[in-house]
Structure 1
Amino acid sequence: MNDLPIGTREIFKSDFLPSYFDFLGSRTHPFDMSENRLVVEQQFIWDTYLESFPVNITPRSPVYNLVQQRSYEWKAGFGKAAFAAVSELWALDEDRFGTAFGRAEYVKWALGWRKPFSWENGDDFVNPYHGPLLLAVLAKHFDETNGKYGYGNPCGALALSATAVGRALSAWSSGNLEKAADFGAKLSDGEWVSIINNALAPHLQGHTDTTDSLIPDNDDEDDRSLLVSGPQLPP
C-alpha cells in the first residue's frame, strides 16, 4: 500500500478494490484480458472514487502493480474458501465423515457424473448452481465486493468457485488431505474458452430443459463449465 498516494488508502480498500473485484468476477475471462483493458477499468474506478487524487494508471505503474497483486490474492482466496468449506463439511457430520473411507466415498460421489456437488440436491440433480459448498465459496466473493457495484452476473466468480471446490474435493480423494495444485496458477485463454463453450453449447443447440441441458454428460468436462452459463442467483 506504500505506493498509493497519501490519503487514498482507506478508499482504495473500501471502494476501489471491491469494485474492481466485482468487475473481474463478472468477466468470462477475468485473467486473460489485455493490459490496456485492465488499465481502462482501473482508471475508470480510480476516477470514480478518488477523483480528487489524480493518478495516471499505466501498465506496470505502481498503482497498476498493486492492483494486480491484490487481484491474484483475490483469486487465491477462492481456493482458501473452498478448503475451509470442505473442512467445515467434514466437521458437521463426524459420524459420516470422521474416517478416511467416509470422506473418500463422499468425494467420489461429489465429483462423479454431472458433478453432484454443484447441485442443491446432488442425488436427484435438483436446482443447479446451488450446491452448498459452491455457494459458500461464492459468498466469499460477494462479501468482498459488498454487493453494490453492479457489474452484472458474476460468471467469472462462479467459474472460479466451481474450480476451487473441485480442487479442494480432489485433494481429499483418498480420504486424507493431499497436496493440492496452486489455485493461483494462471488459466489460459484456451481453458476459459473451452469452459464457456461447454456451458453454452446446449443453449446454442436449442435445448430448453434446465436440469438436463446445462450439465454436460461427459465426466471429463471441466467443473467450471457447470457454473458459467448465466443461472439466476439466489436472493
Structure 2
Amino acid sequence: MSRNFHKTWLAVFALVAVGLPVWTRVGSLGWQSRPDIIPNLFPVFGLLAFSLLWLHALSGVFEPWLRRQINFDKFVDSTSLVILISIILHPLLAWANVNFSFKDLFAYGEARAIWLGIFGLLLLLTYDVGKFLKKYKFFSRNWTNILTISTVGFLLTFFHSLSLGSDLQSGFLRKVWIFYGVTAIFATIYTYGYKRRLKGSGNQADHHYADKIEN
C-alpha cells in the first residue's frame, strides 16, 4: 500500500479517536444559556487532552513504522502544544467556575478523584518543563525518566476522568474511555517496559559482540 494511503488512514483514525469524545460532549451541550459556557466547556478540554495523550501512548508502540509514514516529530510537537493548552485550560476553567476557590473544587466529586487530577496535571507538566529545559544536561540526561513520569501523570488522569467525567459515567463513551485507558496501560508497559528492556538487551549484545571482535 502507498504511503499516501497510510497517511490518510492515520489522519482519519486520529480524527475519529479525538473527535468522537469531543463531539459527544459538544453535541450534548445546551448553549442557549450564557452562564453555562464555562461548566460546559472545561470538560471538553479534558476529553481533548486525554484523547491526544492516548494517541501519544499508542504512537510509542508503533513509532518505527510511523516514522516511515508521517513526520513523526512534527506530529508529536503540534499535538503536544494542543495537549499543554488543554491541560491548563481544563483545570483553570473548572477553578474559575467555582470562583477560584480551592476548597470548592472538591464539590465536583470525590476528593480522591480531584487529587488524582491535580497530581496527574503536575506530572504531565514535567514533560513540557523538561522539553523547555532539555538544553541543560540534567534534563537531557534524564529525558527518558521525564517521559516515564509524564506517562504516569497521563494514567492518573484516566482514573480521574473515569471517576468525575459527567459524560463518562455510563453509556457508549464510558466503554470507549475504558478501552482508551486499558490500551494506554498496555502501550505504556510495552513502550517503557518490554521495548526498553529489549533495546537494552540489544545494546548488551552489541557490546558483547564488539568485545569478542576486539579480543
Query: How would you bin the TM-score normalised by the shorter chain?
Result: 0.3 to 0.5
Where relative contact order (Cα < 8 A, 6+ residues apart) is larger, the structure is 1
Give TM-score, length-normalised by structure 1: 0.32
Give TM-score, length-normalised by structure 2: 0.34
